[in-house]
Amino acid sequence: MRITVRLFATFRKGRFDAQIREVPPGTTVARVVEEVNLPGKEIGIVLVNSRHAGLSKVLADGDTLAIFPLVGGG
């Protein structure tokens, strides 16, 4: 199945802004995070089709996954 992965801010460096990826059915958000080699401790907001999701969320064909880094400075 095909999903679109959108990365934000620092996560784009050395990776991509948006990418269509072919993944096997049953793929979770956590699996994609691992595949694109995102540092787990830096992950903030995760959206699947503009809805907030956890890392264990199972993706479906056509989903758009958006991942933002955690921002907390003041």
The binding site for another protein (CB under 8 A) comprises 8-10, 40-47, 50-57, 68-74
Looking at the Cβ atoms of 22 and 50, the one nearer to another protein is 50
Closest distance between another protein and the C-beta of residue 52, in Å? 4
Long-range contacts of 41-44 (CB under 8 A, 24+ apart): 42/10, 42/11, 42/69, 42/70, 43/67, 43/68, 43/69, 43/70, 44/68, 44/69, 44/70, 44/71
Residue closer to another protein by CB (options 22, 47) is 47
User: Closest CB to another protein among 60 and 70?
Assistant: 70
